[in-house]
Amino acid sequence: MKKRKLGHSDLYVTELGLGCMSLGTDERKAQSIIEAALEEGINYFDTADLYDFGVNEEIVGKALKNVREHVIIATKAGNRWNQDRSGWTWDPSKAYIKEAVKQSLKRLGTDYIDLYQLHGGTIDDPIDETIEAFEDLVSEGFIRYYGISSIRSNVIREYVTKSHIISVMMQYSILDRRPEEVALPLLAEHGVSVVTRGSLAKGLLSDRVLDKATGKGYLDYSYEELLDVLPRLKESVGAGRSFTEVALQYNLANPAVASVVAGASSVEQIRSNAAAVRSRALTDEEVALIKELTKASVYGEHR
């Protein structure tokens, strides 16, 4: 599987990454999915301390222990579980991040984290303090690089200007083109890579197409609009190939995107996603047609 450089780092991530949130807590099943991902050539695995109260990190770390030097592990911090685990609070403080990384390292069973990401963020955060925490962790050798997970362009600007982030994880798909307005051009200009999530729009952009549509629609698309646009996309761009291919290749067509992170709840799903990423890239004409058929911006970006 092809690899792309992640920002200004020396990390080369596969064009498809495994989003580990959907692995669940059945260790044997999760192990089989991760092993299938490795067989497909995937080297990028994304988790977070929030997933399953940290159990996800434990499962991922154990499954990747024997190939640790050959894979890139990304995890996240900033969401702090309440004592009774009934919910969580946002804590981007230096003290919490520096404590959280120690717990993640322990659960992952590793001495270092390749990519440590702030799991959210607002313009009201103590951003300078947060950056200082990540910079300390780099200098101390606990993490190799850091990034953020956000779609808020005002927050992204702050980190691009003030920090050494190498990546931004954000929701991006044919049906959610908000990042194209500000974030993607800004990040491309500064050499910061994008790692996308939500690329299949909750299954709407898979081969099931309208099976996943509900009366509520999706973001700014009404159900009626989905009934119109999805078949048109399938007919005009997806003819002769899977809709999953079209969706994932659309993201990879943007020069700012380094990897598409997709979850998988079965071995079959990870193999299908891998085949989609290995498929033929979209032509410039196909990308233009997709943009013509869909909305340029849904809700507008958070500023």
Determine whether 44 is an active site residue: no
* Residue 212 · residue 237 · CB < 8 Å: no
List the catalytic residue out of 44, 51, 116, 145: 51
* Beta pairing class for 257-263 and 193-197: parallel
Task: Read off φ and ψ for residue 157, nearest 5 degrees.
Answer: -60, -45
Helix or strand run (H / E) with residue 263 = strand 257-263
CA dist 136 → 98, 188, 215 (Å): 9, 26, 48
Taking the alpha carbons of 286, 291, 293, 294 in that order, is the dihedral positive or negative? positive
Exposed (0-12), middle (13-18) or buried (19+): which is 270, by Cβ within 10 Å? buried
* Beta pairing class for 79-81 and 88-90: antiparallel
Nearest to 165 by CA among 23, 6, 27: 6
Sorted by sequence, the CB contacts under 8 Å of residue 86 that are 6+ apart come out as none
Taking the alpha carbons of 80, 83, 87, 89 in that order, is the dihedral positive or negative? negative
Q: Please identify every residue annotated as catalytic.
A: 51
